[in-house]
Chain A
């Protein structure tokens, strides 16, 4: 895997791990591998910024509660986890899977990321289906005014 691909893989994996339900992550990674805590899980806030208005000036939307953790596996791989909310074990598992993914991308993809990705796609499809029920289609009958 080239370094650019590896970075893209990590980026996608971290997003997936952050969005996954913490309980599901706990099922997929039941026993934590041996690791050293570089930064124990800690709770803080990050400012969400967006661009508003035509000038593109940054706009502070609000703060979001975030939990982060950093660990190192015995192999030397360093993993970071950032997740929304206050669940320390969620952040820790995300960091562990990030580090494990650097050692064994294929295995982690198969055991953890692929199921999470499928479930996320299913969740999104379901939301889209629910929303689709309320869709209203407008159409106009020919009124004959244009002639």
Chain B
């Protein structure tokens, strides 16, 4: 039996709260936000990543599932709750997967000089927030902030081509944090 449960029970309030939380995380890189009013999806998607998708993705959002998350129950769940078209990595505006499965990262759109907003947002699921933190600075950070990253080099290279580049949202359990391309890895 497929499992379609876990959508928002009160979509207006829950999606507004979740949107605010994602906005906070994006505006303050390094801040770890704990979501309440969570959506849930079939394994392996975390509650935080499911909530981000329920909030940000719809029928017009091109979504790429990396191999770690490309399973039939999750595809069914996405078809039922979001209706988002599943596409190849090159076309995606959102990509969902574990950090290892998302590689190689040069597949994802980084925008164009005229339209830097046409870049992908990576949803890095199953993130370990308790790993060794890295120092961050840049817009939205007063002095420095700290966040555990799966690796350093990829984010360093991504920032180097600012204003182009992808953005990342890290999800694990009911927590999320974000690292926009504007953030510098100290």
Contacts and interface: CB of A to CB of B under 8 A. Distances in A.
Same complex: yes
Interface of A: 36-40, 42, 70, 72, 76, 78
A interface SS class? strand
Interface of B: 1-2, 4-5, 7, 9-11, 80-81
Contacts of A78: 1-2, 4
Contacts of B4: 38, 70, 72, 78
Contacts of B9: 37, 40
A72 B77 CA distance: 14
A76 B1 contact: yes
Contacts of B5: 36, 38, 72
21 contacts: A36-B5, A37-B9, A38-B4, A38-B5, A38-B7, A38-B80, A39-B7, A39-B80, A39-B81, A40-B9, A40-B10, A40-B11, A42-B11, A70-B4, A70-B80, A72-B4, A72-B5, A76-B1, A78-B1, A78-B2, A78-B4
A70 B4 CA distance: 10
Contacts of A72: 4-5
Nearest to A75: B1
A42 B10 CA distance: 11
